[in-house]
A and B are shown apart, each in its own frame.
Chain A
């Protein structure tokens, strides 16, 4: 039944808009406000629902180049998920270990994971880049990046 990618996407969007509408109808109401906070979400929910249904029945087929864009080798998807996982771990450790250590570890591990084997360069970059950024943010721009376990 779901022949095209558009139809698959539109089903997802329909479900999303139904969920959004459900939440909109359950927003707390205020009796004395002429226009309450649920008005716009309800309009948007119905609009999204209608547009998703249109998309389902949209006859204009995808161009070949659009289809070609979607062909991503499985190996690359795994690599992307790997990088995503690394970002996730980076965020987890960001405040615990501090900006300098996590960033240095991230740069080395991410670039190695992506196939970069020039150790000297990647170690140098992983020290200089976070160091300069840390100095610029913390001391020049007065934006405190997490210090973590380091004393500075």
Chain B
């Protein structure tokens, strides 16, 4: 099946009544969860995974794409209305979005965010459609050393680019890898670190980690801030109409940042946060009136929103074509794919073109629904923020618990979930980033497998990683990604 046929078939699924309904449900729920302070796309996807069990894979994916987009947009909404970005990717949105909302133009700010997200998302999906199959063709030739080097690069990139201390990010990634070694070893059948507990033989499910480190850990923050009433005060947003002049002003940042954001999204570790900041900074530099930035500038809001959405689609390139997620969010998305029995990677576009193109088509539809159906509903969705915090906290806890129970049907894993909730909270308190942990946890199993396959094939010689040119290049990039910031830091302190 060719690309066009595949895409048409994908659209058939996505544009069916069922497809639109599920995208809508996904977008709606995603927006709601994303608006909650702290709960971002990772929590949203993890919470929704159990709902997709038993669904037809394409329908389930269409819904998950909706959840993803919805959660990202929900995060922007929280930034604009409350100046409380739930996730780092929408921090830059608040720079100009919040001042605009304070001027009484919350509706307009939301509309700018939605239109920019739509444009950024749509352009980058077109780019994704062009690049992912091409990259998949290259990746078919990859062997275990290349795969290992690639995943290694992903992990070092997310660690060196994450906020705060690089050592802490690396420790977090190592810990994620450590916990994936629990259970029966797939190659020799040796039980590792199970303490003779049969419940641990199958290892720890990624959903336990995702829901524990993200959803439950955030619940702790919700508990501390449960009396915060700022959410319910901002339920009225006003008109969401945009004038022609507004659209004209947005067109520049939107067209530039769609491409820039996409490229940054493709790179492992960079992702939406860096794309949104770079987007904001570049637009400020080339703007005719840079002094307006930070005071409610249309360009200043449009740029990070376009860039972060373009980056979210860009992040799908390595996920779909290599099977390797480059960020915490795409790592959880990979988990969602695996739960549905879909293994993304270079063979996906060859073996299951319907699914590959179905995902891409659902991203188009997700973007459209976000703009057409979701935007007009924002005033109503934001009324949901009036849900009393104590009730909301109980509901998030229940969702996390049954999410884990419905994968394992084993009470033991619920205790493990509670344990990781505590760990996640402690990590937040001590400023250890959780995204490298989840990425390492998802990549760990694959990394170990390719490392051992490569070493087995080379009779235990580590030279195989250096003699293969692609693997060598990737490992060098990983080393450089650490060395450059360290050297630059040293030079700066000397000056």
Name A's B-contacting residues (CB within 8 A). Answer: 5-6, 9, 13, 20, 23, 27-28, 30, 33-37, 39-41, 44-45, 47-48, 51-52, 54-55, 58, 60, 62, 66, 69-70, 72-73, 76, 79-80, 83-84, 87-88, 90-91, 94-95, 99, 103, 106-107, 110-116, 118, 121-122, 125, 129-130, 133, 136-137, 140-145
| B contacts with A, residue count (CB < 8 A) | 60
Cβ contact within 8 Å between B455 and A35: yes
**Contact partner, B168, options A23, A55, A91, A116, Cβ 8 Å:** A55
> Which stretch from B15-23, B62-70, B251-259, B411-419 is at the chain A interface?
B411-419
Q: Is B401 an interface residue (CB 8 A)?
A: yes
Closest 4 CB pairs between A and B? A114-B390, A116-B390, A37-B185, A111-B390
Cβ contact within 8 Å between A34 and B460: yes
Q: Is B188 an interface residue (CB 8 A)?
A: yes
Determine the distance from Cα of A24 to Cα of B187 in the docked complex, in whole angstroms: 16
In the complex, chain B residues 33-52 whose Cβ is within 8 Å of any chain A Cβ: 50-51
In the complex, chain B residues 400-417 whose Cβ is within 8 Å of any chain A Cβ: 401-402, 405-406, 409, 411, 414-415
12 more contacts with CB within 8 A, not counting A110-B394, A145-B406, are A27-B192, A34-B456, A34-B459, A44-B178, A48-B171, A48-B178, A51-B167, A54-B167, A70-B430, A94-B401, A106-B394, A133-B398
Cβ contact within 8 Å between B190 and A28: yes
Cβ contact within 8 Å between A66 and B431: yes
Q: Is B165 an interface residue (CB 8 A)?
A: yes
Known: A72-B224, A95-B411. A107 touches B187 (CB 8 A): no
Chain B residues, Cβ within 8 Å of A66: 164, 431
**Contact partner, B192, options A5, A35, A41, A84, Cβ 8 Å:** A41
Specify which of B164, B402, B422 lies most central, judged by the most chain A CB atoms within 10 Å of its CB.
B402
The distance from the CB of A119 to the nearest CB of chain B, in whole angstroms, is 12
Determine the distance from Cα of A147 to Cα of B192 in the docked complex, in whole angstroms: 34
Known: A9-B430, A37-B185. A58 touches B220 (CB 8 A): no
Q: Is B170 an interface residue (CB 8 A)?
A: yes
5 contacts between A and B (CB under 8 A): A27-B190, A33-B187, A60-B165, A91-B411, A141-B55
Determine the distance from Cα of A55 to Cα of B166 in the docked complex, in whole angstroms: 10
Determine the distance from Cα of A76 to Cα of B220 in the docked complex, in whole angstroms: 9
Chain B residues, Cβ within 8 Å of A95: 411
Chain A residues, Cβ within 8 Å of B451: 35, 39-40
Chain B residues, Cβ within 8 Å of A45: 178
Cβ contact within 8 Å between B398 and A107: yes
Q: Is B381 an interface residue (CB 8 A)?
A: no
* Interface residues of chain B: helix, strand, loop or mixed (majority): helix
Determine the distance from Cα of A103 to Cα of B414 in the docked complex, in whole angstroms: 14
Determine the distance from Cα of A27 to Cα of B429 in the docked complex, in whole angstroms: 34
Q: Is B485 an interface residue (CB 8 A)?
A: no
Residue of A nearest to B398 (CB): A103
Residue of B nearest to A107 (CB): B394
Cβ contact within 8 Å between A23 and B456: no
Residue of B nearest to A60 (CB): B165
**Contact partner, B174, options A47, A70, A125, A144, Cβ 8 Å:** A47
Chain A residues, Cβ within 8 Å of B389: 114
**Contact partner, A35, options B223, B397, B409, B456, Cβ 8 Å:** B456
Chain A residues, Cβ within 8 Å of B50: 137, 141, 143
Residue of A nearest to B225 (CB): A76
Cβ contact within 8 Å between A141 and B51: yes
Chain A residues, Cβ within 8 Å of B343: none
In the complex, chain B residues 414-435 whose Cβ is within 8 Å of any chain A Cβ: 414-415, 418, 421-422, 425, 428-431
Q: Is B388 an interface residue (CB 8 A)?
A: yes
Determine the distance from Cα of A138 to Cα of B190 in the docked complex, in whole angstroms: 36
Chain B residues, Cβ within 8 Å of A62: 431
Determine the distance from Cα of A9 to Cα of B188 in the docked complex, in whole angstroms: 34
Determine the distance from Cα of A81 to Cα of B51 in the docked complex, in whole angstroms: 29
Q: Is B452 an interface residue (CB 8 A)?
A: yes
Determine the distance from Cα of A121 to Cα of B185 in the docked complex, in whole angstroms: 49
The distance from the CB of B371 to the nearest CB of chain A, in whole angstroms, is 28
Determine the distance from Cα of A125 to Cα of B391 in the docked complex, in whole angstroms: 8
Known: A40-B448, A94-B405, A99-B402. A110 touches B188 (CB 8 A): no
The distance from the CB of B192 to the nearest CB of chain A, in whole angstroms, is 6
Residue of B nearest to A66 (CB): B431
Determine the distance from Cα of A112 to Cα of B165 in the docked complex, in whole angstroms: 39
